[in-house]
Amino acid sequence: MIPYGRQHIYQEDIDSVVDVLRSDFLTQGPMVPAFEQAVATRVKACHAVAVNSATSALHIACLALGLKPGDTLWTVPNSFPASANCGLYCGARVDFVDIDPATCNLSIPALEAKLDFARRHDCLPKIVVPVHFAGQPVEQEKIWQLSQQYGFAILEDASHAIGSSRHGEPVGSCRWSHITVFSFHPVKIITTGEGGMATTNDDTLAQAMRLLRSHGITRDSTLFRGQTAAQAGQSSPWYYEQLCLGFNYRMTDMEAALGVSQIKRLDHFVQRRNDISNVYSEQLADLPVRLPHVAQENVSAFHLYSIHLTTTCKDEYARIFNALRQDGIGVNLHYMPIHLHPFYRELGFSEGMFPNAEKHASTELSLPIFPKMSQEEQLHVITMLNKHIMR
């Protein structure tokens, strides 16, 4: 089966991890800050906080932004459930904003309308989580403008989008948001096995997330606030304080070493993904499918090559999907709308609430795309699409 995505590991990556295994520190060593520095520099953010997954990053980002019971978080239905679950972890309410069918990203007019309604009913969100679907950057500057008007925080889920940019601004620079989150799961653009990162330009948010990822505990005497703080510090190296209820969400040094090595190839990976995407777009132009469109001002990291069947019939979708799988093409659906999972239905969501995301899910196919994909593999995918999708 040709998978929809997979990692590309070089000998240098392996050497980098093995070096850590032979070193003094498997965790809390020098590779974690080195990887954080590499990501911060690359995406032009002041701070980067490494954690063990994007899911953890979303959780501590919400906590750092002050999300609590009684608050509301909004995201899109067209995402992985983690984009919404982070709100529930904090005891907040979760709601959704429908997508724009053209970009498959959060619809700005839908957001604006929902904000207007929410203001009149006194239920404005505390946090909005836009998702850069497939790597295509969201129109962050427009959401930023709305955030100034309505007073919410912006947490970008850029799990698909390290290496993407908009108007030359890298996704993750937080120019138009408070915090951005990346995932380094093996199907994403670069990998650490499991792993995630939160970037921000806000010193206070960065400090809060550093505390939250490691039990809420610090050894930094400038942060101490206990009774003994005065006596502590330089002369009491045994002393540390827990300042809030944190977690163990730390990234290991093996993971960070893999990240340091992988990020050196980020440009190459994004180029390869764009090359593969261009071949698909050329070769599939005659099929009755809608191909992904990247806006002029955007560079997409192409985490996914996402097409839409223009046949709307459910049986036809299933027939094509199953036939492709049978012929060794690891097509996937991104995403089953979050609000239609049984868990979310039990919270009161149902069919018909977010029609664009639902329509998207009934026609979307993610084709295999990954840097190591061979010409032969891509040709096989194209041949099988031609065989199974009727003109």
Ligand X SMILES: *Cc1c(COP(=O)(O)O)cnc(C)c1O
| Cβ 157 to ligand X shortest distance, Å | 5
Residue 346: how many other CB atoms lie within 10 Å: 8
CA distance 303 to 273: 8
Q: Does residue 255 contact residue 287 with C-beta atoms inside 8 Å?
A: no
| Cβ 332 to ligand X shortest distance, Å | 12
Cα–Cα distance list, 70 to 57, 59, 92, 121, 216 (Å): 21, 16, 6, 15, 23
Q: Does residue 73 contact residue 62 with C-beta atoms inside 8 Å?
A: yes
Our CB check for ligand X shows the closer of 58 and 320 to be 58
| Cβ 82 to ligand X shortest distance, Å | 4
CA distance 195 to 197: 7
Our CB check for ligand X shows the closer of 82 and 104 to be 82
Under the rule (CB under 6 A), what is the footprint of ligand X? 53-55, 79-80, 82-83, 131, 157, 159-160, 183, 185, 196
| Cβ 297 to ligand X shortest distance, Å | 22
Q: Does residue 97 contact residue 106 with C-beta atoms inside 8 Å?
A: yes
Our CB check for ligand X shows the closer of 157 and 253 to be 157
CA distance 364 to 117: 30
Our CB check for ligand X shows the closer of 190 and 384 to be 190
| Cβ 61 to ligand X shortest distance, Å | 12
**Angle CA 103–106–108, to nearest 5:** 100
Our CB check for ligand X shows the closer of 196 and 371 to be 196
| Cβ 229 to ligand X shortest distance, Å | 36
Q: Tokens in use for 150? A: 């309505």
Cα–Cα distance list, 350 to 80, 165, 291 (Å): 17, 35, 29
| Cβ 135 to ligand X shortest distance, Å | 10
Our CB check for ligand X shows the closer of 78 and 147 to be 78
CA distance 123 to 115: 9
Our CB check for ligand X shows the closer of 124 and 134 to be 134
Our CB check for ligand X shows the closer of 131 and 384 to be 131
As beta bridge partners, residue 180 has: 156, 199
CA distance 171 to 44: 9
Q: Does residue 77 contact residue 337 with C-beta atoms inside 8 Å?
A: yes
| Cβ 160 to ligand X shortest distance, Å | 6
